């Protein structure tokens, strides 16, 4: 078949580009399953360590532990050498690269490699977070799991259980989401038989883009601008009249309420540190959903994961510029699981393209 006879879908929208047994994103019904288990159940009853192991090895361990890994000297040296003001996503991507160079990981990816690189990420981001503030990195505490360990290394104090649990819930909902752009990037890289560190570094680059990594910090600014529940209706109508988008609403796949938002909303409700802010968020959400529905009943726009991500990450005290890299740390579990799955397929991903350049021609004679 010639390229003209085939259908071209910009952005590969609607194209079936592979198979996965890892997560089911059911946009019409607002369902997200990891290996068959509903996301709400995993958040209520599981831990990030259990969920990561489930994704990597298709096994539910009653006791799973994933402590943060100590940083090898070359990683620390690279983080120390970064310029002041480096983007946290660049710092994390650099750490992944140096980890790969130091460990010389080779294809095919393994569960052990997946565990190691996932456990290095929080230590690297926490070290970067401290170094840029003129503080020395803190060694990981092997008794703490990933998210408590990350907060400990970032702040130098063991977090309270509620904060660690809330961040763990966020890591669970962020761990995997079908063939999103960064996961697809990881699979393309693995499909060339390149190593897991290259796949994760490439995926981090894809997630850094504002169309993917998202900006839950914009939800924070939006709510700050609205200020009070009474001001919400006017503010929202004015914004929509100006053709602006409400941050934290709408999704390419979900037409129903994003199940990740529902799970995080539940978690946020138990965080006393953000009680006032959350009251405003819930009131504004109610108004926003009503106004969006009244204006366009034919086009469902519901709350997405970013809305309550903002609440949870604020509640655990993370600075907004660390939000995208925090997402990347959680998604490392999914990227590495997809890398392992892709290696099992062992098929180069190499689509065709429509050539739009000139017909064959020849250089001018001098
Ligand atoms: N507020 C107001 N209007 C919206 C919103 C919104 N949040 N989202 C979509 N629309 C409107 C668009 O303006 C468009 O209207 P038009 O047809 O009159 O031009 C229509 O709905 C369809 O929009 P699309 O761009 O086709 O929707 P798409 O599915 O491509 O976009 C997206 C999804 C990017 C998430 C969009 O809903 C959006 O920009 N939301 C706000 C930003 C946000 O919350 N991003 C986080 C998403 S979750 C995540 O990425 C992890």
Q: Which of 53, 177, 251, 338 is catalytic?
A: 251
pLDDT of residue 308: 93
Mean of pLDDT values over 132-142 = 97
Per-residue pLDDT at 126 exceeds 90:
yes
Task: Give me the chain's average pLDDT, please.
Answer: 95
Residue nearest to ligand 1 atom 35, measured at CA: 251
Predicted confidence band at 99 (pLDDT cuts at 50, 70, 90)? Answer: very high
Q: Dihedrals φ, ψ of 339, to 5°?
A: -65, -45
Torsions phi, psi of 69, nearest 5?
-90, 145
Mean pLDDT, range 153-176, rounded to an integer? 96
- Do 53 and 44 meet the contact criterion of CB atoms below 8 Å apart? no
Residue nearest ligand 1's atom 42 by CA: 247
- For ligand 1, the distance from its centroid to the CA atom of residue 142, given in whole angstroms, is 42
Q: Kindly give the distance from the C-alpha atom of residue 283 to the centroid of ligand 1, in angstroms, as a whole number.
A: 21
* pLDDT confidence of residue 320: 87
Q: How far apart are alpha carbons 172 and 363 in whole angstroms?
A: 57
User: Using 50, 70 and 90 to split pLDDT, how confident is the model at 277?
Assistant: confident
Q: Decide: 147 and 164 in contact? Cβ < 8 Å.
A: yes
Ligand 1 atom index nearest CA of 304: 48
Quick one: average pLDDT of 197-203? Answer: 98
The one catalytic residue in 285, 306, 338, 341 is: 306
- Residue 245 Cβ contacting ligand 1 at under 6 Å: yes
Residues 177/334, Cβ–Cβ less than 8 Å: yes
Identity of the highest mean pLDDT range in 167-181, 245-259, 296-310 = 167-181
Average pLDDT estimate for 77-104:
96
pLDDT value of position 221: 86
Rounded to a whole number of angstroms, the distance between the first and last alpha carbons of the chain is: 40
Looking at the predicted structure, is the pLDDT value of residue 3 above 80? no
Neighbouring-strand partners of residue 11: none
- CA 107 vs CA 15, 55, 89, 104, 329: distances in Å: 27, 19, 25, 10, 22
Residue 207 CA to residue 142 CA, distance in Å, equals 29
Closest ligand 1 atom number to CA of residue 296: 21
Task: Identify the helix (H) or strand (E) that includes residue 342.
Answer: helix 323-345
- 306 tagged catalytic: yes
CA of 245 to the centre of ligand 1 (A): 7
Ligand 1 atom at minimum distance from 248 CA:
44
| Cβ–Cβ under 8 Å, residues 52 and 330 | no
In this prediction the pTM is 0.92
Residue 164 CB contacts under 8 Å (≥ 6 apart), including other chains: 144, 145, 147, 148, 151
What tokens were used for 68?
């943060």
Count Cβ atoms below 10 Å from residue 193 Cβ, excluding itself: 12
What pLDDT is recorded for position 2? Answer: 77
Q: 243-272, pLDDT tens digit by residue?
A: 999 999 998 889 899 999 999 999 998 888
């Amino acid at each position: 078949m010639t390229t003209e006879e085939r259908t071209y879908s910009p952005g590969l929208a609607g194209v079936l580009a592979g198979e996965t047994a890892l997560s089911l994103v059911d946009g019409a019904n607002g369902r997200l399953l990891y290996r068959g288990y509903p996301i709400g159940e995993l958040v209520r009853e599981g831990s990030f360590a259990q969920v990561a192991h489930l994704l990597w090895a298709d096994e539910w361990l009653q006791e799973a532990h994933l402590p943060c890994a100590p940083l090898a000297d070359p990683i620390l040296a690279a983080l120390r050498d970064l310029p002041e003001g480096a983007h946290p996503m660049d710092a994390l991507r650099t750490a992944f690269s140096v980890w790969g160079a130091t460990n010389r990981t080779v294809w095919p990816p393994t569960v052990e490699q997946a565990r190691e690189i996932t456990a290095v990420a929080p230590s690297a981001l926490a070290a970067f977070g401290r170094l840029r503030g003129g503080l020395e990195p803190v060694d990981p505490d092997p008794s703490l799991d990933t998210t408590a360990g990350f907060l400990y290394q970032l702040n130098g104090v063991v977090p309270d259980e509620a904060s660690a649990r809330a961040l763990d819930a966020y890591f669970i909902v962020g761990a995997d989401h079908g063939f999103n752009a960064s996961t697809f990037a990881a699979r393309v890289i693995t499909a060339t038989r390149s190593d897991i560190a290259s796949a994760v570094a490439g995926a981090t680059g894809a997630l850094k883009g504002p169309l993917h990594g998202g900006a839950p910090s914009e939800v924070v600014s939006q709510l700050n601008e609205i200020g009070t529940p009474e001001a919400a209706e006017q503010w929202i109508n004015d914004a929509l009249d100006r053709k602006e988008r409400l941050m934290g609403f709408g999704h390419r796949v979900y037409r129903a309420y994003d199940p990740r938002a529902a799970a995080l909303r539940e978690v946020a409700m138990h965080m006393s540190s953000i009680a006032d802010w959350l009251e405003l968020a819930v009131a504004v959400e109610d108004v926003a959903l009503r106004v969006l529905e009244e204006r366009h009943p034919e086009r469902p726009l519901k709350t997405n994961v970013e809305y309550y991500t903002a609440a949870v990450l604020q509640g655990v005290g993370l600075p907004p510029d660390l939000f995208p890299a925090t997402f990347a740390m959680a998604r490392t579990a999914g990227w590495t699981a997809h890398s392992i799955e892709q290696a099992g397929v062992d098929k180069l991903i190499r689509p065709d393209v429509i050539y739009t350049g000139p017909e064959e021609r020849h250089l001018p004679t001098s």
